[in-house]
Structure 1
Amino acid sequence: MSLPPEPTPPAADPAFTPPSLGRRFGALVVDWVLCLLVSNFFADPVRDGWAPVLVLIVEYGFFIGLFAQTPGMYVTRIRCLAWADGGRIGVPRALLRGLLLALVAPALIMDERRRGIHDRLVGSVVTAAPR
């Protein structure tokens, strides 16, 4: 019995097609609503604008670092993987990615593979998740 072939990392896959911006935005909306709900336990998200942003950074660090998906990414069937090898990016890089994403501007400047500055700096890419 032979093992299934290893998946091709996104950096080496000429057929790589990034998910649509709509799916990425949908994931962000789901995650943001969750962050507003969670931050409501320890701060007033309307008055303390830092609270949901802090929760978003921690959420990205935990979920992307350990599972390669946030809850919003799970719902929209996308995931965040390492660009070079297609594995998980780990908690430290996921925290940095979340911090950069919280700055907003890095996410708006994308290359042809829809990798924002935050993705390029941490060596990640958003891909479609298998069903």
Structure 2
Amino acid sequence: MGDIDAEWADGKGSSQEFSYRGNRLGLPRSGSGSVPGFGRRIAAVLLDWLLSVAAAGLFSGADPAQTANTALLVFAAQNVVLLSLLGTTVGRGMVGIRVVATGERRLPWPVAVLVRTVLLCLVVPAVVYDRDQRGLHDRAAGTVTQRI
């Protein structure tokens, strides 16, 4: 558990500490730099996935199993390359969000992005999240998703 969650587990936290998603990370309530809502995040992932499936279809032909496997590889490669270089992917950029490092990040940026991407591709870590809407993939990588 992180330090913040350990305080809550120990009963030291109060309801005053959490007033909106991102406040414990020092992020604004709304606007640029704030934590985006669930809908915006899902839209970004769906856009990235659709682009990956379209690209995979060009390479894998008509075999659906091959297309799905290739799409996952394209999705992962897209995430690693674009997040490492730009902090956003095509889908995230279209909905106005980016991924940035938090003060707790201990890994070099490309390694953090790789860890985040592997966990995102496993799906479960992405749907298990805390009050700040940081999935396990973001917590493990020391990143947070913000609005642009």
* 2:114 is aligned with 1:95: yes
Q: Which has the larger radius of gyration?
A: 2
Is 1:13 the equivalent of 2:26? yes
Kept in 2: contact 1:11–1:85 (CA 8 A): no
- Aligned residues with identical type, % of pairs: 28
Provide runs of 4+ in structure 1 moved above 3 Å. Answer: 14-17
**TM-score by structure 2 length?**
0.72
Output one character per residue of 1:90-129: Cα deviation in whole Å (capped at 9) or x when no partner.
3322122111101000011100111000000010100011
Q: 1:75 to 1:117 in 2, by over 3 A?
A: same
Aligned match of 1:114: 133
Change (3 A) 1:74 1:33: same
- Between Structure 1 and Structure 2, which shows a larger proportion of helix residues? 2
Is 1:57 matched up with 2:57?
Answer: no
Taking only aligned residues, the RMSD between alpha carbons, in angstroms, comes to 2.2
Does residue 32 of the first structure (1) align with residue 49 of the second (2)? Answer: yes
Q: Which residue of 2 aligns with 1:46?
A: 64
Are 2:142 and 1:123 aligned?
Answer: yes
SS at match of 1:40: helix
Q: Is the 8 A contact 2:92 2:98 kept in 1?
A: yes
Q: Structure 1 length normalisation: TM-score?
A: 0.80
Q: 1:18 Cα shift?
A: 1.3
State the AA in 2 paired with 1:101: L
Separation (CA, whole Å) in 1 of partners of 2:123 and 2:58: 25
- Unaligned regions of 5+ residues in structure 2, if any? 1-22
Count of paired positions: 118
Gaps in structure 1 of 5+ consecutive residues = 1-9
